[in-house]
Chains A and B, each alone.
Chain A
Amino acid sequence: QKEVEQNSGPLSVPEGAIASLNCTYSDRGSQSFFWYRQYSGKSPELIMFIYSNGDKEDGRFTAQLNKASQYVSLLIRDSQPSDSATYLCAFRTGNQFYFGTGTSLTVIP
C-alpha cells in the first residue's frame, strides 16, 4: 500500500511569517512529488513539483525533497491571508498519483 502522511493541522501562522508543511511517503520508487493547494469547495491546483533531491524555489514557495528520508516539505515565506487553504502532498509512481489527506493552513491577518 502506497501511503502519503501529512499532519492534518490546522496550522495557523501570522501574516508575514513562514509556514512549513511536511509530508512523508512510503514508496521509495516514487518518481516525482507535487504540492497542490485547494481552497474550500474548489479543486486542487498545482503549486510546485520536485523530482530531484534538494530545494526548488518559485517565488514565495520552496519545496524541499530528501529521498533518503522519504520526506518532502513546502515552505511559504511572507504568508498572506490568501494562502489560507488546504495543501495536498502527492507523489507519482508510473501513471498513478497518491495523495495525502492535506494540511489545513490559516494565515491570520
Chain B
Amino acid sequence: DVKVTQSSRYLVKRTGEKVFLECVQDMDHENMFWYRQDPGLGLRLIYFSYDVKMKEKGDIPEGYSVSREKKERFSLILESASTNQTSMYLCASRPGTGVYEQYFGPGTRLTVT
C-alpha cells in the first residue's frame, strides 16, 4: 500500500512565524503535490514537484515556497504565516507516468492566529 505521511495533523502558529509542513511518501513516486482545501473553494494547487530539486508553481503559490532535496520528501514553507493561510493542507504523490491517481496524505489542519 502507498503511504503518504504528513508531519502534523493539527498545527497552531502565530502571525509572522515561519512554518514548515513536511510530507513523506514511501513508494518512490516522482511527482509530489501540495494543496490547500477551503470550504467552497475546493482543492487548490500550491506547488508541485516532478523530480528532486524540481518544482512548478500551481494556482496559488504566493506566500509559499517548497523544497524537495530527496525524492521521498516534499516540504511546504510559509515564510511569514498570515491568518488567511489558515486552512487544511494536503500533500499527494503519484508515479511520473500513466493514468495513476494521486495518493493523499492525512492532511494538516493549520490555524494561524
Write the residues of chain A forming the contact surface with B, with a CB cutoff of 8 angstroms: 8, 31-32, 34, 42-46, 49, 51, 88, 90, 92, 95-97, 99-102
The answer, among A31, A32, A42, A95, for a CB contact under 8 Å with B106, is: A42
Measured CA separation A83–B103 after assembly (Å): 20
Q: Contacts of B64 on A, CB cut-off 8 Å?
A: none
CB contact under 8 A between A31 and B42, given known A43-B104, A95-B48: no
Q: Return chain B residues, CB-CB under 8 Å to A97.
A: 33, 45, 102
How far is B48's CA from A8's CA once the two chains are assembled, in angstroms? 27
Nearest chain B CB to A92's CB is how many angstroms away?
8
CB pair B105–A31 under 8 Å, yes or no, is: no
CB–CB A31/B99 < 8 A: yes
Write the chain A residue with the least CB distance to B42. Answer: A101
CB distance from B21 to the nearest CB of A (A): 14
- Which B positions have Cβ atoms within 8 angstroms of A? 31, 33, 35, 40-43, 45, 48, 50, 56, 58, 90, 96, 99, 101-107
Is the pair B48, A32 in contact by a Cβ cutoff of 8 Å? no
Docked complex Cα distance between A31 and B50 (Å): 18
Q: List 12 extra interface pairs beyond A32-B99, A95-B50, CB under 8 A.
A: A8-B40, A34-B102, A43-B107, A44-B104, A88-B42, A95-B48, A95-B56, A95-B96, A99-B35, A99-B42, A99-B43, A101-B42
Find the A residue at minimum CB distance from B104. Answer: A43
Interface centre among B41, B102, B107 (most CB of A within 10 A): B102
Q: Determine whether the beta carbon of B99 is less than 8 Å from that of A101.
A: no
